[in-house]
Structure 1
C-alpha cells in the first residue's frame, strides 16, 4: 500500500484524509462529513497511521466526490 497526500480513507463512519505525508510522520484530518470537511488534524507516525487504517477502505477521487455530495 502506498500512502500519498490527499488520500481519503473510510473507517466506519469516519473519513481520514492525509493532509501532509512525510518520511517519518503523517498529518491526517479525521472528519465525520466530507461535505463540510470539518475535523481535527493529528500527527502520528506512519506505523500508527497504518494501524489506524487497518480494515479501512481507500476511496477513489470519484468515490470521495460522490460521498461529499450525499445528504446526511
Structure 2
C-alpha cells in the first residue's frame, strides 16, 4: 500500500466506524513515521476532526479500506 497526501480512504465498518457507518480518512500530512489525517463522516465535506498517529496504527485503520481518490 502506497500512502500519499490527499488520499481519501473509506474505512471498513468492521475495523473503524462511527455508529456502524464507515468513516472517511483524508491524509493531511505524511511524515516518515507519522500520519496526520482528517476523520470525516462524508467524503465531500470539510467537517471533521484532525488526528495524528503513527503509520503503523494508521495502516491498521485501513484494513479492508477502499481508496476513493488518489492525487498522484
Q: One fold, TM greater than 0.5?
A: yes
- In structure 1, the residue matched to 2:48 is 39
Structure 1 gaps of 5+ residues are 62-72
TM-score, scaled relative to structure 1: 0.77
Task: Give 1:36 deviation, angstroms.
Answer: 2.3
Query: RMSD of aligned C-alpha atoms?
Result: 1.2
Q: Of the two structures, which has the highest relative contact order with CA contacts closer than 8 Å and spacing of 6 or more?
A: 2
Moved over 3 A (4+): none
Structure 2 gaps of 5+ residues are 14-21
1:49 to 17, 40, 58: 58
Higher Rg of the two aligned structures: 1
Which structure's residues are more often helix, by fraction?
Answer: 1
Question: Residue by residue, what CA displacement relative to the aligned partner does 1:20-39 show, whole Å, maximum 9, x if unpaired?
Answer: 00001000100001232211
